[in-house]
Amino acid sequence: MRIAFMGTPDFAVPALRALHQAGHEIVAVYCQPARPAGRGRKIRPCAVQQAAESLNIPVYAPVKLKYQPQEFEQFSSLNLDVAVVAAYGLILPSEMLNTPRLGCLNIHASLLPRWRGASPIQSAIWAGDRQSGISIMRMDVGLDTGPVYFTQSLPITTTTTAQSLHDDLAELGGKLIVQTLDYLHSNPNLPYTPQSSEGVCYARQLVKEDGKIDWSLTAQEIDRQIRALTPWPGTYSFLWDQPLKITKATIGSSTSQSEPGTVITADLQIICGDGQTIQLLEVQLAGKKAMPVADFLRGNVINPGTILG
């Protein structure tokens, strides 16, 4: 098929590579413009642009698409069978949605209609969902409201992190979009299913403040927060009036009636609101590298009774 691929972050790269490997004619890749990144704030192309250039696919990086007739003319001139969208970051205007012969398909990282929106992977873990998955959706003008061709689920376990689920879903998205296009090639009228009006919920855009830990919550709630928000925006508390980033933790084995946030063991088990503990495994002080707790404690003495928060 003749395809335009539209995506920006790492999540979209496996799908781009899978479509290329499957032999589809990817005539254009759309992504967000290169922006400053990293500590040096150097201009850096996004992951999808880097992948597209390595595959010698033309790259387009418009700042916006709405009310941009020249962008629509460019898109229309591609004479597409289908556009595939994966975490692109720009809203496609209705005239673009209707331009490809078979429409625009979105690779969405949730089991729609649950977790429409910006942060479906993190939201599923944080909420305590037992599964997530990929939905291949035919896009309409709503926010992730279009009918769905196929879904496939993956379990969320007590050790699943946002990074591990992201990577698994990215690979699954690549496989499922290739399968979907195979079916569409054989049957352009492939049926799809409108989303249910029940179970709809939205995953909002995350902000750094979401990572602040409230130790009065239960150990399970805090554990889910840490697993959901690592690596971004990251979870943190305060130690000696400095932010202490918690990059890895698990539910501890100790219990106590001490004040939530209290360090009760030398290996940094922290009391939560239900009397259970969170065992810190890897931490990072501002300006330092993340390190295992054992290494951190070699240079920092934290006595039991210290209160975080």
Q: Which residues are annotated as a binding site for (6S)-5,6,7,8-tetrahydrofolate?
A: 110-113
Q: In sequence order, what are the residues at sequence separation of 6 or more whose Cβ sits closer than 8 angstroms to the Cβ of residue 82? A: 1, 2, 3, 100, 101, 102, 103, 104, 105, 181, 184
Annotated binding site: 110-113
Tracing tokens 């979105």 back to the chain, one arrives at 106
Please tell me the distance from the alpha carbon of residue 225 to that of residue 154, in angstroms, as a whole number: 19
